[in-house]
Amino acid sequence: MLQAKPSGKARTKARVRPAPPARTLATGFEDSTVPYSPAEHRRGGLVTGFFDEAGIVVVDRVIDRFGMSRGQLAETVGLRPETLQRVSRSLAAKTQSRVTEMLEIIGRIASWAGGEKQAMAWYRAEPIPAFGGRTAEALVKEGKAAAVRDYLDHVALGGFA
């Protein structure tokens, strides 16, 4: 039995274009990139992987990334250990600001320190001579994260440590 030839349009295959690669932004943490939008980039870029779409720090992402318990994270940012056990408390303004401050500082020094784990070690244990030998962790607990960020900016611009 003879079959009719398909018309020219039917013989051509539809071209399938590959999807463009997802835009990513380096997070400042080793071996890590996260999807970003231009709005996130303007908002701070380095730590956006820890935030949800509403701009809230997702505590579970932080504890997973740094291998900490909720209690350890709370202690690191100067909060009571039970603070991060309840979602409502982890969404409180004070909790969010403390965790954000810690992430901003770690994000700024991760490349200098050699990675995220080393940055966390510096944050927790390295005395800063300009602050009387107090650590970045101690200063954040006292509410002086802005002073630490200013110090890091000063050092980044070539100032004396």
> Lowest-confidence range among 25-34, 121-130, 150-159?
25-34
Of the chain, the percentage scoring pLDDT greater than 70 comes to: 71
| Beta-strand pair 33-35/24-26 | antiparallel
25 secondary structure, DSSP code: E
CA geometry: angle 38, 40, 46, nearest 5 deg: 115
- The tens digit of pLDDT for each residue in 10-28 reads 555 545 444 444 433 344 4
Closest CA to 109 of 39, 24, 29: 29
Q: What is the pLDDT, as a whole number, of residue 47?
A: 73
Distance between CA atoms of residues 129 and 21, nearest Å: 45
3 confidence band (pLDDT: 50, 70, 90):
low
State the pTM of this model.
Answer: 0.68
Tokens of 138: 């101690």
User: So what's the pLDDT on residue 117?
Assistant: 87
- Which residue shows structure tokens 């997802």? 22
